[in-house]
Amino acid sequence: MSMFDPLLGSPSLDHEHDVLLVAGSRPEVARLAPVAASIAATDRIRAITVATGADPMGVHETFDAFGVPTDITILLPLDTAPGVADVAAALMTRLDRLMVDQDPSAVLVHGGGLAASVAATVAFWRRIPVVHMQAGMGTDDLLCPFPQEAHRRVIGQLASLFLTTSGAALGSPLGPNVLTIGDTVNSLPRPDDVRCADALSRVREDLRRLVLVALDRPSSHSALAGLASLLERHPDTEVVITGELARDEPALSLERHPRVVVTPSPALSDLLVLLAAATVLVSDDPDLVTDAPGLGTVAVLVDGPNVPQPGDSIRSIGGSSVSPTVAQILDGDHGRRPAPSDGLEAARAEQAVAWMFGLSRSPRLAEDQPAGEVSEDVTTDPAESSDA
């Protein structure tokens, strides 16, 4: 695959403004794909999706899985070492070249991943406004999670528009251009699997907890032991079992339980939607475990190498210790229940960007306007605000 799509070599004649949506990981795609879909549906801005990061093809495939075309895929040089500095150096030059070629009206990034940090830095150098989703400080600890929290704070110094999930960001006075939109992962479509969709509805509507079990290796069989007692001990918990071991007898016997769903091969989009809603992930897949913290989920890596992770968001344990560990997490309520959602988070992001470009009189949706309030015309361009 070429690094740049030749069809994107010149600005669109149909839209005055375009925005690069830069994703460097699967959790970032889960937040940006709904925004790209909302921008396309509203059709007053042009969204250009960019797949990049240490595994650009994985990001590319995730955009496609969510039904959002990947417009540009930035591949790393074949001799790029896996170290953070090497990946960052490669991204720096290629993202800079992309922004010169595309000359976008703005760049939109999410969170504090390496690609988001590099993209925001390059955009700032090129005087391209940066829109930051999940803006501000996530915690009061610079090292937790590492290095995402530090990256998030750096991006906060470079951005022109800040989109937060739930009110003002913790301890971070970001300036006047702060809008609360919610978590756009909640704007993703329901899983195609009806039973998974029903379980997800119970989790969201009844404020239940979800344990996602994704196991492939035969050596992980012992991780399934104890799930029945876990369900009895925690009546507010749903369990979804996926992976190759979902085809075996221990999982199939659990399927008879009313709060257990067994689905061996869910679509990637369904798997990530479930992961985003889960309180705990149990898996022997290191890639999926690595995705979990970015979606706010505590992960238990079965029989894998130790993964140092500040904040204890990833635990590497043996299969026989899975159920006690999950019970400990649930007992301590270290997991989270999904926040209430009206499904309009992505639409709010599109509205905010349109307001930034002067295409809307208000940064808020009509549904969010107080009764009787009349929107005023925008008098300043937030992209030019010196307070941000």
> What single string gives the DSSP state of each residue in 310-378?
TTS-EEEE-GGGHHHHHHHHHHHT-S-PPPP--S-HHHHHHHHHHHHTTS-S-SS-GGGSPTT--PPPP
The shares of helix, strand and coil residues in the chain, as percent rounded to the nearest 5, are: 40, 15, 40
How many Cβ atoms sit within 10 Å of the Cβ of residue 6? 7
Query: Has residue 1 been placed in a domain?
Result: no
H-run or E-run covering 21: strand 18-23
Q: How many structural domains are present in the chain?
A: 2
- The answer to whether 172 and 165 have CB atoms below 8 angstroms apart is no
Q: Are residues 162 and 32 in the same domain?
A: yes
> Does residue 30 sit within a domain?
yes
Domain range enclosing 276: 194-332
Which of 98-107, 287-296, 331-340 shows the lowest per-residue confidence on average (mean pLDDT)? 331-340
In the sheet that 130-133 helps form, which strands lie side by side, from edge to edge?
72-73, 46-51, 18-23, 106-110, 130-133, 161-164, 178-180
Is residue 33 a part of any domain in this protein? yes
pLDDT, tens digit, 9 for 90 and up, residues 271-287: 999 999 999 999 999 99
| Cα radius of gyration rounded to whole Å, the chain | 21
Task: Kindly state whether residues 229 and 308 are assigned to the same domain.
Answer: yes
Q: What is the mean pLDDT of residues 34-61?
A: 97
- Indicate whether 252 belongs to any domain: yes
| 154 and 20 within one domain | yes
Q: Which of the given ranges, 134-138, 317-321, 358-362, has the highest pLDDT on average?
A: 358-362
CATH number of the domain at 316, please: 3.40.50.2000
Query: Does 189 fall in a domain?
Result: no
> How confident is the model over 26-46, as a mean pLDDT?
97
Identify whether residues 256 and 359 lie together within a single domain.
Answer: no
Co-location of 73 and 11 in the same domain: yes
Higher pLDDT: 87 or 319? It is 87
Strand duo 209-214 + 178-180: pairing: unpaired
The pLDDT of residue 32 is above 60: yes
Query: 262: which strand partners?
Result: 241
Q: Specify whether 241 is located in the same domain as 315.
A: yes
Q: Are residues 60 and 149 in the same domain?
A: yes
CA angle 208, 210, 215 (to 5 degrees): 170
- Note whether residue 47 is domain-resident: yes
- Do 326 and 229 sit in the same domain of this protein? yes
Do residues 219 and 76 both lie within one domain? no
Domain-located, residue 188: no
- pTM exceeds 0.75 for this model: yes
| Dist. CA 185–CA 96, nearest whole Å | 28
24 and 104 assigned to the same domain: yes
85 and 16 share one domain: yes
254 and 212 within one domain? yes
146 found inside a domain = yes
